[in-house]
Structure 1
Amino acid sequence: MFNMLNVAVQVQTTAQRTGWEGWPFTGLGSPWVAGAARLLFVLVVFIGIAWLLRVLFGPGGRLRPEEFGTEHIDERNRKKAKAKVLRQSWKDGELSDDDYEEAVKTLWKDDA
């Protein structure tokens, strides 16, 4: 067993360098710069994948079904519109402070 390990070590140490050992950032100088470049490269790849998925499958995405996950948005927009009407009625004096607070509490009760 020691013989096989010794042969493996000899093969690794005597193998010629091809230039691809540090791919893709071989000739950038210090190891810190090469490491930072690799990290930046990986971040750019992941951000690109996330952006592509967002474009394809995010809200309004080309491959996202129309009915997929939009019910809560419509409901929230309806509640916001109703809250705006209630606030305007309160500002105009049509609702008392207590009535306004009760109506807003009732409106947003399910979201708490």
Structure 2
Amino acid sequence: MGSYETELARKSAWRKIHTTCPCGREVYGNGKSHQRNCHTHLQVNGWPLDDQMVQAVIDEYHGRDPVARIRAAEMELGRIYLERRARGDKTSLPWKQYRDTVWAATENPTP
């Protein structure tokens, strides 16, 4: 176990990590909770992929244009979640649909 000062330093370092969401809100830490609930963020940046899915995409395509592939998957998932929320459905996608959507979007990313 670390000392109180070490724990406090770690927490304050985490608070220093922040980004500004397209909606204007300052988000501290990794911000995925806000990003997945913010209508503006979903329209502009899409649904943030889990770290393991990002790594799976990079591994599958051996590093060939991973940014465009990941961006295409995030935008497609964002579009799907916005449509579902417009219908009043706030549940998460079933795993198979999530997985299949990611792989379909990364297969042929649009420029």
TM-score (norm 2): 0.28
The structure with more radius of gyration: 1
Higher strand share: 2
More RCO (CA 8 Å, sep 6+): 2
